[in-house]
Structure 1
Amino acid sequence: MFEFFPGDHVRSSSVNLALMAGGSLADIGRWLGPLRDTPEAGLDAWAAAWAGMAHQQEALAAGDVRAGYLAAAGRRYLRASVYHATAQRQIPPGPTKSESYAASLQAFGNAMDCGALPLVRVHVDSPDGTLPGYLIAPDAADPRPVVIVYGGLDLTKEMLYATVGAAFARRGITCLVIDTPGTGELIRLRGVPSRPDYEVPTAAIIDHLQARHDVDARHVAVLGVSFGGYYAARSAAFEPRVSACVSWAGSWDCGALWRRRWDEAEAEPTSWFLPWVTGTGTIEEALERLELWTLADVWPRVTQPLLIVHGENDREIPVADARRAFEAAGSADKRLHVFAAAGGGAEHIQSDDPAPALDLIAEWLSLRMPVLPEPPVPALA
């Protein structure tokens, strides 16, 4: 993996995620370069560098707006949204995190106001309250199948959009990026933690889709990114209306995985994170609650077409977990694709080379999701 901060996997992975979502290496080099020479610099310096990067893009975008260059302004605002979102990822809950997240939402809204993002806002009623999201629709006269995209433990719908863009729409599939329990607005603005039974929000989302006239909700796939792979698999196992499942990083037993990472001190730099996402008070309570996030007995219930995409050198979820998941899955139509280091994309969610993985996922789904209207059933004589 490209390590902007040599030997610092946590900060380097955040850089790669920002690049994956459309960030500029030139911007990152200018604003984060000084931090490489000051390893003692803390979270305040980290947040300030990303904020400066974002504010610069916003100032340039404002100039584009004054000149009438709305498409250019929209792209800059979207990049600023990514930078603000990256600033808050490693910051514990508090004023700095809240300000960075609010700034990310504002910049994304500015991009939408410029008409640069072909999105439709949606609000889904659910047992956890309203779930906000964006529909990315193909340019088609008729309703198309839908893929619901779930982020992992720290992605937002805005970052998801910046990552997947129009990859599915180009192939005739409507895409829904959405904040759900433990992610985005729900955890940051309303304090709604994650939940192990993710079929509950998935059912609410499909109910909403079935009530719409601009999508074909007879065919709804789920795609989970990173630990969202758990959400996708769990949804497919217990929500029969899911027609296909993609785990972009194959999950097996999140509780056991995080227990190991904590015991080996891998998770200590973000010790606040697990209690925050799980709605618990201490790290030990969080680890105990995470024992419910296991797919060991769930994968056999997944019978829909299944794709698991993983990296050979994944340092977040071991590739062995993806192989166990693949073997246990009950799907007759299933594929495991492991990106190897020699060809690129070997890191977690292929953050070192994401385009081939996204193309693979979109192409695989397009072959399993009917994109043409089905003929009407003839009436009985």
Structure 2
Amino acid sequence: MFEFFPGDHVRSSSVNLALMAGGSLADLGRWLGPLRDAPGADLDAWAAAWAGMAHQQEALAAADAAAGYLAAASRRYLRASVYHAAGQRQIPPGPTKSESYAASLQAFGNALDCGVLPLVRIHVDSPDGTLPGYLIAPDASSPRPVVIVYGGLDLTKEMLYATVGDTFARRGITCLVIDTPGTGELIRLRGVPSRPDYEVPTAAIIDHLRTRHDVDARHVAVLGVSFGGYYAARSAAFEPRVSACVSWAGSWDCGALWRRRWDEGSGEEPTRWFLPWVTGTGTVQEALERLKLWTLADVWPRVRQPLLIVHGEDDREIPVADARRAFEAAGSADKRLRVFTREDGGAEHIQSDDPGPTLDLIADWLSSRLPALPGSPVPAFA
């Protein structure tokens, strides 16, 4: 994988996520280049570089908007939102993290105000409070099937939109990016941690979708990115209204995985605060104990919907062996495991080294399992 910070997987992963979501390598080089020889623990310099990068885009966007170039302004505001969000990933909870996240939301709101992003804001009532999200709808005369996209441990709905864009809409599928327990607004603004029984928020979302007239909630797929692959599989196993499932990184036993990583000494500094934060516990050891509930070992046989698992051969977050175990255990008659190799490109976690082909593959697969637009050809991919 391309490592902007050679030998520093944690910081490099933030760079690659920003690139996945439309960031500019030129921007990243100008602003982060001076940090290549700085210690990874210099969080003040890290936060300042990402903030400076984002503020530069915001200034350029404001100038474009004043000149009437709204599409150009919207793109720059969206990029600024990505930079703010990517920069706060390594920052522990506190004023700096909160300010960066608020700036990300503001920049995204500015992009929406330009009037060119095809998004509809929605708010879903759930046992965890309101779940905020955005619908990305295709240009269609009738309600279309829906794919709910779940981020992992540190992706927000804004980052998800910047990553998937209109990929599903172009295939006649409405896409919902949404903040749920442990992600986005819920964890950052309301302190709502993740939960192992993710069928609960999924059920609430489907309940909401069934009240709407602009989607076909008889056909709802779930797509989970990274740790979200757990959320998707768990939802499919226990929510019968899910029509198809995609795990973009195949999970097996998250508790055992994190325990092994910690015991082997791969628990970098962010893990010390991140795991307790996301799980709603006080210490790493308490978090590791609670994470035992996040296992799919006995759950995968309950997944019987059409299933696609996509994984990277060299994934350093979730071993490819976990994806293979998940695939073998899944109860689906229609299931496929796609492992990307170094030769294919996309061998890293969530194909961060080459995500485009994977995203198109997922969208093609889903469009062949969900009803197509009238008159539209169904992709041959199977």
* TM value normalised by structure 2: 0.97
d(CA) in 2 for partners of 1:194, 1:373: 39
**TM superposition shift of 1:20:** 0.3
d(CA) in 2 for partners of 1:58, 1:200: 38
d(CA) in 1 for partners of 2:231, 2:14: 22
Q: CA RMSD in A?
A: 1.0
d(CA) in 1 for partners of 2:139, 2:40: 50
**TM superposition shift of 1:40:** 5.9
User: Per the alignment, in what secondary structure is the counterpart of residue 286 of structure 2?
Assistant: helix
User: Per the alignment, in what secondary structure is the counterpart of residue 342 of structure 1?
Assistant: coil
Q: Which residue of 2 aligns with 1:378?
A: none
User: Per the alignment, in what secondary structure is the counterpart of residue 272 of structure 1?
Assistant: helix
Aligned positions of 1:26-41 closer than 5 A: 26-39=26-39
1:361 aligns with 2:359: no
Q: Which residue of 1 aligns with 2:378?
A: none
Matched residue type, 1:296: A
d(CA) in 1 for partners of 2:266, 2:159: 25
User: Per the alignment, in what secondary structure is the counterpart of residue 240 of structure 2?
Assistant: coil
Aligned positions of 1:1-381 closer than 5 A: 1-39=1-39, 42-270=42-270, 271-372=272-373
Q: Which residue of 1 aligns with 2:379?
A: none
Q: Percent identity?
A: 89
Q: Which residue of 2 aligns with 1:377?
A: none
Matched residue type, 2:67: A
- Could you tell me whether the CA contact under 8 Å between 1:312 and 1:346 is conserved in 2? yes
Matched residue type, 1:115: G
User: Per the alignment, in what secondary structure is the counterpart of residue 147 of structure 1?
Assistant: strand
Provide runs of 4+ in structure 1 moved above 3 Å: none
User: Per the alignment, in what secondary structure is the counterpart of residue 17 of structure 1?
Assistant: helix
- What are the superposed Cα offsets for residues 170-209 of structure 1, whole Å, 9 maximum, x if unpaired? 0000000000000000000000000000000000000000
d(CA) in 2 for partners of 1:71, 1:359: 24
Matched residue type, 1:107: A
User: Per the alignment, in what secondary structure is the counterpart of residue 301 of structure 2?
Assistant: helix
Q: Which residue of 2 aligns with 1:379?
A: none
Matched residue type, 2:37: D
**TM superposition shift of 1:41:** 6.0
Matched residue type, 2:182: G
Matched residue type, 1:225: V
- What are the superposed Cα offsets for residues 104-153 of structure 1, whole Å, 9 maximum, x if unpaired? 00000000000121100000000000000000000011000000000001
Matched residue type, 1:235: S
Q: Report the CA distance shift for 1:373/1:202 in structure 2 as closer, same or farther (over 3 A).
A: farther
Q: Report the CA distance shift for 1:333/1:40 in structure 2 as closer, same or farther (over 3 A).
A: closer
* Unmatched tracts of structure 2, length 5 or more: 376-382
d(CA) in 2 for partners of 1:3, 1:154: 19
- What are the superposed Cα offsets for residues 310-367 of structure 1, whole Å, 9 maximum, x if unpaired? 0000000000000000000000000000000112100000000000100000000000
* Unmatched tracts of structure 1, length 5 or more: 375-381
**TM superposition shift of 1:47:** 0.6
Matched residue type, 1:324: R
**TM superposition shift of 1:37:** 2.5
d(CA) in 1 for partners of 2:345, 2:264: 27
- What are the superposed Cα offsets for residues 42-90 of structure 1, whole Å, 9 maximum, x if unpaired? 1111110000000000000000011000000000000000000011111
User: Per the alignment, in what secondary structure is the counterpart of residue 166 of structure 2?
Assistant: coil
- What are the superposed Cα offsets for residues 3-56 of structure 1, whole Å, 9 maximum, x if unpaired? 000000000111001000000000000000000122366111111000000000
Aligned residues: 374
Matched residue type, 1:283: V
**TM superposition shift of 1:265:** 1.7
- Could you tell me whether the CA contact under 8 Å between 1:75 and 1:116 is conserved in 2? no
d(CA) in 2 for partners of 1:40, 1:113: 36
